[in-house]
Amino acid sequence: MPTDTPKHIRDFSIIAHIDHGKSTIADRILEQTHTVAERDMEAQILDSMDIERERGITIKSQAVRVMYRADDGQEYQFNLIDTPGHVDFSYEVSRSLAACDGAVLVVDATQGVEAQTVSNALLAMNANLEIIPAINKIDLPSADPQRVRDEIEEGLAIPCDDAVEVSGKTGVGIHDLLEAVVRDIPAPGGDPDAPLKALIFDSYFDSYRGVVALVRVVDGCLRTGQRISFMQSGLTIEVEEVGVRRPANTPLDDLGVGEVGYLVTGIKDPLQIRVGDTVTDATRPAAEPLPGYREVKPMVFTGLFPIDTEDFDNLRDALDKLSLNDPAIVYTPETSVALGFGFRTGFLGLLHMEVVKERLEREFGLDLIATAPSVEYRAYMRGGELREIKSPQDMPDPAGIDRIEEPYLKVKVLVPPDYVGAVMDLTIEHRGVFEDMVYLSPTNVEMHWSMPLSELIMDYFDQLKSRTRGYASLDYEFSGYKPGDLVRLDILLAGEKIDALSFIVHRDKAQARGRVLCQKLKDIIPRQQYEVAIQAAIGGRVIARETVRAMRKDVLAKCYGGDISRKRKLLEKQKEGKKRMKAIGSVEVPQEAFMAILKVDE
């Protein structure tokens, strides 16, 4: 394949609120440009992780090269990056946007502008990208493209004269969209003769080939066999292979200005390559690196512990490899009396946490317990010292504390006017403070709140969706720390304090939450040989109590002729079931107990 001149290259992302149909549009583009033969076409082809297909969401950005012969008779090289829509993954979006010159902003013709439509559009504008609005799902009877155009123009100040109307489902309008990409998105403007500068915008670990980086060449040329250095880490290596994804990996001799592709480094230590680093020629280095990324700051912390304590090193190894692909994960070793050795792990949000836990379990074969997520509190001690509380166990003796502060969010909720009351009730229950609201259109209100992060992670999103029949959309960003009256609630099983079940809660809510949690645990903890008392306590004071009655009967009395193997297998199955639980003292505790606190409906 001849190297295209930059004039015929278009690098762009598809951005949208979750479920507005990005991945389907990407599928249609691959199909209509014959990048993927029809017989190989499957839904969400760029979402290669099992979790993505099962959940129908995009978690990782994916870059693919598409060749398009436009109406002007010329052939163009499109480098298309499909991005996640969920707020937890907005850092993935901003990383991908740094490798683009334009973005297709997909908006659902029935839902209109939603919270992450706004956020992602702002990210694209801040990155100086050309934005093409694409109104999707126009095949649906309830589609209202005119209203959506109005919302985009009024709410986002993006002109909609050139907006395209498409259906990812039927393929209508995809051709117009491809033409708009050729027409409206500028070609990359780098210098082919300047020293090499390429941005690493993603990377992953391949067991055979080591670290593979996804790069966009800004200046110069990146060749197989070239000696390159990483400007941030200082590491120098020889390039094993460069190539592009179509969507299968296709090796090339080189990548020129504006081209997006992969780079096989052969490096086996995942920690040596940083996303955001700049690749340059080792013998003729660039003077300045490209601007890196803003460091992402984890917001939600949880303890991750292997059920089998011998898996600790495997967990460390898995986190090292996974964080390569997902630099938003941070982790430090943590010890729990109940659960042994593990890692305090920071995530961007709850979905991010669930996805990472699931990936660790599936891709690395680990069985993990995650403790209830917590946020990072700050305790100002009477002596003036500041202590960061990432885990409930770090909470100092209340006597020594002057005040505790907790992280607050600026929360944006977009909702039809009928549900404003429901959102008010719910958010006030979650200690939210109302700031203001604006009408984006007669059917779409944007409400602004200030709210503790700890409340948002307590089932707020699920409740918001259920109380507004799925109409509300949510976005948030960190706004700062504010004081709060916070206490640590401890859970005791059979009289023994279980550190991994402790959590920090506002004093006014402690009683109710303790009570509900005890009831919840009573349902979750199976009956055992002995009665198990479940208690919730603040300081030494017990505020709630439940009892799991002792098991009375557990015996397979039935005779299967002489088929003793069958009886043995049953015993082994029971033992396996117990392995999935954690023996804490004399009590077998199922994994879901540690997350029960999250699902406490008061």
Q: How many CB atoms lie within 10 A of CB 540?
A: 6
Q: Tell me, what DSSP letter sits at residue 562?
A: B
Which window, 152-160, 283-291, 505-513, 558-566, contacts other proteins (CB under 8 A)? 558-566
State which residue, 507 or 568, has the beta carbon closest to other proteins: 568
Separation CA 190–CA 177 (nearest Å): 25
State which residue, 248 or 550, has the beta carbon closest to other proteins: 550
- Look at residues 185, 264, 181, 258 and name the one whose alpha carbon lies nearest to residue 223: 264
Separation CA 106–CA 163 (nearest Å): 10
State which residue, 74 or 529, has the beta carbon closest to other proteins: 529
State which residue, 189 or 577, has the beta carbon closest to other proteins: 577
State which residue, 541 or 575, has the beta carbon closest to other proteins: 575
State which residue, 382 or 568, has the beta carbon closest to other proteins: 568
Separation CA 34–CA 75 (nearest Å): 13
Which residue from 551, 580, 583, 599 is in contact with other proteins, where contact means CB under 8 A? Answer: 551
- As measured in angstroms, the least distance from the Cβ of 576 to other proteins is 11
State which residue, 438 or 571, has the beta carbon closest to other proteins: 571
Which residue from 568, 579, 580, 599 is in contact with other proteins, where contact means CB under 8 A? Answer: 568
- For the four alpha carbons of 210, 215, 219 and 222, in that order, the dihedral sign comes to positive
**Residue numbers 219-258 binding other proteins by CB under 8 A:** none
- As measured in angstroms, the least distance from the Cβ of 558 to other proteins is 5
- Look at residues 598, 574, 73, 146 and name the one whose alpha carbon lies nearest to residue 373: 598
- As measured in angstroms, the least distance from the Cβ of 528 to other proteins is 9
H/E stretch holding 408 reads strand 401-415
Which window, 25-33, 117-125, 436-444, 549-557, contacts other proteins (CB under 8 A)? 549-557
Contact 292/277 with Cβ under 8 angstroms? yes
Which window, 269-277, 331-339, 467-475, 552-560, contacts other proteins (CB under 8 A)? 552-560
Which window, 121-129, 318-326, 360-368, 568-576, contacts other proteins (CB under 8 A)? 568-576
Contact 330/66 with Cβ under 8 angstroms? no
Which residue from 122, 337, 571, 583 is in contact with other proteins, where contact means CB under 8 A? Answer: 571
Contact 218/290 with Cβ under 8 angstroms? yes
- Look at residues 134, 194, 197 and name the one whose alpha carbon lies nearest to residue 167: 134
Tell how strand 130-136 and strand 102-108 pair up. parallel
Contact 169/139 with Cβ under 8 angstroms? yes
Residues 6+ apart with CB under 8 A from 245: 62, 63, 64, 65, 261, 262
Helix (H, G, I), strand (E, B) or coil at 249: strand
State which residue, 386 or 557, has the beta carbon closest to other proteins: 557
Which window, 202-210, 337-345, 408-416, 548-556, contacts other proteins (CB under 8 A)? 548-556
Which window, 186-194, 218-226, 248-256, 547-555, contacts other proteins (CB under 8 A)? 547-555
* Interface with other proteins, residue 562, by CB under 8 A: yes
Name the phi and psi angles at 306, rounded to 5. -70, 140
- For the four alpha carbons of 305, 307, 312 and 317, in that order, the dihedral sign comes to negative
Name the phi and psi angles at 544, rounded to 5. -160, 155
* Interface with other proteins, residue 565, by CB under 8 A: yes
* Interface with other proteins, residue 428, by CB under 8 A: no
Which window, 1-9, 31-39, 504-512, 562-570, contacts other proteins (CB under 8 A)? 562-570
Which residue from 563, 579, 599, 602 is in contact with other proteins, where contact means CB under 8 A? Answer: 563
Which window, 18-26, 184-192, 273-281, 563-571, contacts other proteins (CB under 8 A)? 563-571
Which residue from 384, 495, 541, 553 is in contact with other proteins, where contact means CB under 8 A? Answer: 553
**Residue numbers 93-152 binding other proteins by CB under 8 A:** none
Helix (H, G, I), strand (E, B) or coil at 504: strand
Q: Tell me, what DSSP letter sits at residue 109?
A: T
State which residue, 122 or 570, has the beta carbon closest to other proteins: 570
- As measured in angstroms, the least distance from the Cβ of 572 to other proteins is 8
Which window, 175-183, 238-246, 507-515, 569-577, contacts other proteins (CB under 8 A)? 569-577
Which residue from 556, 580, 599, 602 is in contact with other proteins, where contact means CB under 8 A? Answer: 556
Which residue from 572, 579, 583, 599 is in contact with other proteins, where contact means CB under 8 A? Answer: 572
Tokens of 167: 């259906």
Which residue is it, tokens 């199955």?
573
Query: How far is C-alpha 342 from the chain's CA centre?
Result: 21
State which residue, 177 or 589, has the beta carbon closest to other proteins: 589
Name the phi and psi angles at 135, rounded to 5. -95, 115
Binding residues for other proteins, how many (CB under 8 A)?
24
Binding mask of the shown chain, residues 516 to 545, with x at each position contacting other proteins by CB under 8 A? -----------x-x----------------
Which residue is it, tokens 């992450």?
116
* Interface with other proteins, residue 554, by CB under 8 A: yes
Separation CA 110–CA 292 (nearest Å): 37
- As measured in angstroms, the least distance from the Cβ of 526 to other proteins is 11
Tokens of 596: 């029960």
Tokens of 126: 């801040």
Contact 25/174 with Cβ under 8 angstroms? yes
**Residue numbers 362-421 binding other proteins by CB under 8 A:** none
21: left (phi over 0), alpha (psi -120 to 50) or beta: left
Gyration radius (Cα) of the chain, Å: 27
Which window, 56-64, 284-292, 410-418, 555-563, contacts other proteins (CB under 8 A)? 555-563
* Interface with other proteins, residue 310, by CB under 8 A: no
Which residue from 37, 287, 386, 559 is in contact with other proteins, where contact means CB under 8 A? Answer: 559
Q: Which residues of 76-87 are buried (b: 16+ CB within 10 A; e: fewer)?
A: bbbbbbbbbbbb
Binding mask of the shown chain, residues 483 to 522, with x at each position contacting other proteins by CB under 8 A? ----------------------------------------
State which residue, 284 or 566, has the beta carbon closest to other proteins: 566
Separation CA 144–CA 137 (nearest Å): 10
State which residue, 383 or 561, has the beta carbon closest to other proteins: 561
Residues that bind other proteins (CB under 8 A): 527, 529, 551-565, 567-568, 570-572, 574-575
